[in-house]
Amino acid sequence: MRNHLDPIPAKDIFNKLTIEDLNIKGKRVFIRADFNVPLDDNLIITDDRRIRSTLPTINYAIDEGAKVILSSHLGRPKGKVDPKFSLAPVAKRLKRLLNKEVIFAPDCIGGQVENLVSKMNNGDVLLLENLRFHPEEEKNDEEFARSLAKLADVYVNDAFGAAHRAHASITGITKYLPSAAGFLLKKEIEYLRGAIDNPIKPFVAILGGAKVSGKIGVLENLVGKVDKVIVGGGMAFTFIKAMGYEIGVSLVEDSMLETAERIRIKLKDNKIKFYLPVDCVIAEHTGPDNVIKIVPTQEIPKGWKAYDIGPASVKLFSEALQDAKTILWNGPMGMFEVDAFTRGTFDIARAVADAYAMTIVGGGDTDLAVHRAGVSNFITFISTGGGASLQLLEGKELPGIAALTNRED
C-alpha cells in the first residue's frame, strides 16, 4: 500500500529512459545540468543548492566509470562572452563538493574543447563554459546542437529548471545521442506530476505570487483533482476586486478580473473549497518610515497597499491544511523580501512543514521562502524549477522531457 508521504514511482508516470538504463562505463556522458546559481558582486556563489541537487547524477556517472562532461547556462549573457556570467565559480565549487579535480573548458564547443575531451580518463569530470555565450544555444541551432553532441556518446538531462526551454542543449542535442533523464529530473517528475495525476487526498493547493495570469493554467488543471485551493500574495487581490471589494492601490490585474471570477465560480461549482485572505498587512509605501496596519481585506483604505496576509488569514489557511495528505505550494503570500512583510509567508511555510502530508514546494521565490523560514528540511520535496514546474502543473508536456528517448518496455 502506498504511503501518502511517498511519490509515485517515475516509471508509472513517464516512459523515458533514465541514466540507470544506460551502459555508461568508459562512455563520454554529456550531462546538461542547471548551474544557474546566484553570484554576489565578487562572483562568489551565494546559494549552491542547484549544484548540490545534481550531485547524485554526477557521482553515479563517476562511480560507473564514465567520462563526465557537464554543461549549463548561467544568467543571460545574450549570446556574448561576458566574464561575470562565466561558470568558473561553479567549477571551483564543484571541485570542493565532489572532492576531486574538475577540468574547466574555456568554451563549450570547438577544437580546444574536443582536445580536452579526448584526453579524459574514466571518472574524470569536465565542465564546459556557459552555453549561452553562443546565441545558437537559445535559438536551438542544429549545427550548434550537433557540435555539442560530437563531444559525447550519450546525453543525460538533469536540468529540470530549463526543461521547458527548446534550446540546443535541451532538445536539439537529443537528435544525435541516446538521451535519458538524470536523477533530479526523474525526481521532479515523480513528485510534481505524481501529485497532480494521482494525489493522496485531501489535496490542498496553495498559490501565491504577484499575478493571476501566471497561475491560470495551474488553477484550470487543478479542477477535479484538488479538494481545497488557498490563494494569497498579490494575485489574491484580483479575485477580491472581482468580487466587488475596495483594494486601495494593492496589486491587481484589471484585465484578469472576469477570468478570476469565472475560476472562483468554477471551483465553487465543483465543490472545491476556495480560500482568500480575510485580513492583510497594509502600508502606504515600503520605506523605513512606513506606517503598517492590519485590516480586514474588505476595509483597505484608498491609497493604501496590501503587502502581506494578516494573522487571521494565517490562522484560516493553517487550519485548512490540518487534514491535508498532499500539499502543493507555489508562490509567496506577500512581499517577504522586505522584513516588515515576512510573517505571512514564513508562518505558512511553518504550517506546511508541520503538516502530516506529502509537501511539495515549487517556484524560486517559494523555495527561497522555506529556506529563509528555516523549514526546508521538513518539506518533502522542493522543486528546482520555476517556469518548468508551473508548466508541468498546468498539465503541459515539457520539451526537454518529450525529447528524451522512450523506454521500450
pLDDT (tens digit per residue) in 253-271: 999 999 999 999 999 999 9
Answer whether residue 396 shows pLDDT above 90: no
- Asked if 234 contacts 209 with a C-beta cutoff of 8 angstroms, the reply is yes
pTM of model > 0.75: yes
- List, by residue range, all CATH 3.40.50.1260 domains of the chain: 10-187, 199-393
The set of catalytic residues is 50, 211, 364, 387
Q: How far apart are CA 65 and CA 69, in angstroms?
A: 13
- Asked if 128 contacts 113 with a C-beta cutoff of 8 angstroms, the reply is yes
Q: What confidence score (pLDDT) does residue 13 get?
A: 59
Q: How far apart are CA 203 and CA 260, in angstroms?
A: 21
Convert the pLDDT of each residue in 308-319 to its tens digit.
999 999 999 999
Instruction: Read off the pLDDT of each residue in 203-212 and give the average, rounded to a whole number.
Output: 92
Instruction: Read off the pLDDT of each residue in 352-373 and give the average, rounded to a whole number.
Output: 91
Q: What confidence score (pLDDT) does residue 183 get?
A: 96
Q: Tell me, what amino acid is at 157? A: N
pLDDT band at 400 (very low <50, low <70, confident <90, very high): very high
Convert the pLDDT of each residue in 80-138 to its tens digit.
999 999 999 999 999 999 999 999 999 999 999 999 999 999 999 999 999 999 999 99
Q: How far apart are CA 178 and CA 93, in angstroms?
A: 29
Instruction: Read off the pLDDT of each residue in 162-168 and give the average, rounded to a whole number.
Output: 96
Answer whether residue 295 shows pLDDT above 50: yes
Answer whether residue 1 shows pLDDT above 50: no
Convert the pLDDT of each residue in 267-287 to its tens digit.
999 999 999 999 999 999 887
Q: How far apart are CA 370 and CA 347, in angstroms?
A: 10
Convert the pLDDT of each residue in 10-59 to its tens digit.
445 568 999 999 999 999 999 999 999 999 999 999 999 999 999 999 99
Query: What is the β-pairing status of strands 279-283 and 305-309?
Result: antiparallel
Any idea which fold 199-393 has? Rossmann fold (3.40.50)
Answer whether residue 236 shows pLDDT above 90: yes
pLDDT band at 394 (very low <50, low <70, confident <90, very high): confident
What angle is formed at CA 215 by the lines to CA 210 and CA 219, rounded to 5 degrees? 135
Q: Tell me, what amino acid is at 76? A: R
Q: Which CATH number fits domain 10-187: 3.10.20.740, 2.40.340.10, 3.40.50.1260, 1.10.357.10?
A: 3.40.50.1260
Q: What confidence score (pLDDT) does residue 392 get?
A: 87
